[in-house]
A and B are shown apart, each in its own frame.
Chain A
Amino acid sequence: MTISLVARLMAALLGLSVASLAFAASDPPAAGVVTRAVPNETDWAVRMPADDKVAYRGLVSQDTSGPSGVAVMYPAPNLVGLFAAIAAHGLVSSSRQAKEKSRVQEEADKVLLPYQPLLDKVTHGLLAQRAFERMTRGAGKKVVEPNATVSNGWIIETAPVFSVTQDERALLLDNVIVVRAPGSPDVINYQNVVRVVSVPRPAAEQKAGIVEFWTADEGRMIAQESADLFAKSLDIVLADLARGPELSASAPKTVRYKLGGVESIERASLIEERCDRLTLRTLRGGLLSIPAPVSSCEGGQVADKPPTLTSGAVASQ
């Protein structure tokens, strides 16, 4: 009887252990953690967001003086009253903070006003089509419907959000990526956020000139630059996957780069250095691609120059 009880207990414990292992196995990996190397010559099914309109927003300045501390006297006729007053204060405070965040974003989004009619025409389908032409990594790429089942093949899910700097000189892409392996479409194999920063327009350029540049020819340049950043973000992820589980061992350093005309600072580890661009891993595990401080590209190397209306092949809208 006792042996039977012990055996049952052992079985129950074993069952619990296996269950917890199974649960751990289905947990998605942390941002940027490569669990399995994916060769560069892999075919990809690319799943874009269900909403076909690409998201653009104004870049919010990080500068802030922060809220100041204020002493508060709570009406507390008794202990219950005190807790109620603290809870009410907490609710009001959270609501105020959320409203303030929303207000700041709305204010930042005003930078999009001259471009909004053109941005409304940029669809995920067009973005992907143009990006695939620019990509240097991966074999075949095809866009699949948001709800389509991909039974046997690598899937990359992407949710790009573009930001326009307040001086309108540069674009920035934040691309949320999820990768699923063949045969297990319900399991997340890799997830990350990739930020790609464009080379800013020249500082000497007047604001009217910048608006004219982006909006000319039905917004050809803003669509082209968006596709270029999107292609770079996918290439960077595929390079990260091809490198495999081994993470870069370099220690984080403080890196400065330009977001339009504003200097930005990031603590990150260098993954790859090209003549025109640096790829870094941020403290959160995210990937960051920034223009090199000084392009050292020579003849034959592809330099990442500020976009120009006359350079390179231009895809028609």
Chain B
Amino acid sequence: MRLFSRAALAAIVISLTACAGTPQTPIELTPATLAGKTRIGVVMAKLPKVDVNLPGASCLLCIAAASVANSSLTTHTQTLGYEDLPKLNADLAQALTKKGQEAVVIDEPLNLETLPDAAKGANLARKDFSSLKKKYGVEKLVVVELTTLGMERSYSAYIPNGPPHAILAGSAYLVNLSSNTYEWYRPIKLVRETEGKWDEPPKFPGLTNAYFQVIELGKDDVVKPFKAQ
């Protein structure tokens, strides 16, 4: 009994500790951030798989029921491409060049999993990017890190809270590779619902349209701060 209590306590502590990570707050791009000519690399993190997310379908049976209910949408969503998202770093580099920076387009997608975790602290980058300073010969690095791309339908257990929508989420940031600190950090979450009905298998034209809309909106969202400065 005593062993059981200790195990339960340990589980609670682990759960709470896991939730204790403070999300990075946004850091605005100011004219001071881009003062002076700096060699800045621009890279896309490896893009996530285009897929359907079902948040809120929390129990095992709920997940199974929601997955079955949305199987044709999942099949279709997984056929959708990235359009020109992989070239977003080129658009960013162009905007940086116009601001007088020496922008370097890094074509190879960055696999963040290969980088070591960094020390935690205010505005410190989650990963240790310092090794990339020498690798790419740059002083700073703009990273576009998308974590969710595709469709999302939220659930309350077995019941959907509404129709699915297209989603693009992640973050974009500028890291000073000498200090491994964020000098600009922008969380991204863009969703778009269909106009009219959504349940149009097998090609789901309404949701497909919404998907390409969030891609365009996402590109704007990342590049806009650099155009505004």
Chain A positions near chain B (C-beta within 8 angstroms): 62-74, 86, 89-90, 93, 97, 254, 256, 265-267, 282-285
Contacts and interface: CB of A to CB of B under 8 A. Distances in A.
Interface majority SS (helix, strand, loop, mixed), chain B: mixed
B56 A62 contact: no
A70 B205 contact: no
Contact of A62 (B160, B167, B195, B215): B195
Contacts of B189: 65
Given A72-B156, A266-B209, A284-B205, A254 B57 contact: no
B166 to A, nearest CB: 10
A93 B209 contact: no
Given A66-B152, A254-B213, 15 more contacts: A64-B165, A64-B191, A65-B189, A67-B162, A69-B156, A71-B156, A86-B157, A90-B159, A93-B159, A254-B216, A256-B216, A266-B209, A283-B203, A284-B209, A285-B205
B193 interface: yes
Contacts of B152: 66
A181 to B, nearest CB: 27
Contacts of B158: 86, 89-90
Given A67-B154, A71-B56, A282 B161 contact: no
A93 B161 contact: yes
B191 A71 contact: no
Contacts of A69: 54-58, 154-156, 161
A254 B55 contact: no
Contact of A66 (B155, B159, B193, B200): B193
Nearest to B158: A86
Nearest to A100: B162
Contacts of A64: 165, 191-193
Contact of A283 (B56, B165, B193, B205): B205
29 contacts: A62-B213, A64-B165, A64-B193, A65-B191, A66-B167, A66-B191, A67-B154, A68-B55, A68-B56, A70-B56, A71-B157, A72-B157, A73-B157, A89-B156, A89-B157, A89-B158, A93-B156, A93-B161, A254-B212, A254-B213, A265-B213, A265-B216, A266-B209, A267-B209, A267-B212, A283-B205, A283-B209, A284-B209, A285-B205
Contacts of A73: 157
A289 B88 CA distance: 29
B123 interface: no
Contacts of B155: 69
Contacts of A74: 157
B154 A68 contact: yes
Contacts of B159: 72, 86, 89-90, 93
